[in-house]
């Protein structure tokens, strides 16, 4: 349900092509290039940090949206990457995604 809420939030804020991956294998098999990604630290019980490192190496902006509680040890390897903790507001998520592109966020609903 959260993924569908995030999808609608993204559409409401101008996103057009959205792909939801419910597990790490699906995420790794997406063939189209990403403009931006919203990543949970754990996806269907699997850590996504290597996937995030791959995006980072490819220059794809991304943010973490997670309820994972051991954030200091995990995110020390991702300086400058936005982190939104669950539960988060739509506005916070949109602002983090926009910031990942290095641009100031415009007024959003959320």
pLDDT computed for residue 52 by the predictor: 92
Residue 64 in domain: yes
Q: What is the pLDDT of residue 62?
A: 93
Q: What is the pLDDT along the chain (110 residues), one digit of tens a residue?
A: 678 888 888 889 888 888 888 889 998 888 778 889 999 888 888 889 999 999 999 889 999 988 876 667 777 888 888 888 888 888 998 999 989 987 544 444 44
Is residue 18 included in any domain, yes or no?
yes
Give residue 56's domain range. Answer: 2-100
Q: How many domains does the chain have?
A: 1
**Distance separating alpha carbons of residues 49 and 102, to the nearest angstrom:** 22
- CB atoms under 10 Å from CB of 64, counted, come to 23
CA distance 15 to 103: 16
Write the CATH number for 96. 3.40.50.2300
């Amino acid at each position: 349900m959260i993924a569908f809420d995030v999808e609608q939030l993204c559409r409401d804020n101008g996103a057009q092509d959205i792909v939801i991956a419910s597990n790490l294998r699906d995420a790794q098999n997406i063939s189209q290039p990403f403009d931006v990604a919203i990543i949970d630290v754990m996806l269907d019980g699997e850590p996504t940090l290597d996937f995030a490192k791959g995006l980072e190496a490819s220059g794809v902006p991304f943010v973490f949206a997670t309820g994972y509680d051991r954030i200091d040890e995990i995110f020390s390897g991702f300086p400058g990457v936005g982190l939104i903790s669950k539960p988060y507001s739509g506005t916070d998520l949109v602002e983090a995604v926009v910031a990942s592109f290095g641009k100031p966020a415009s007024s959003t609903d959320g």
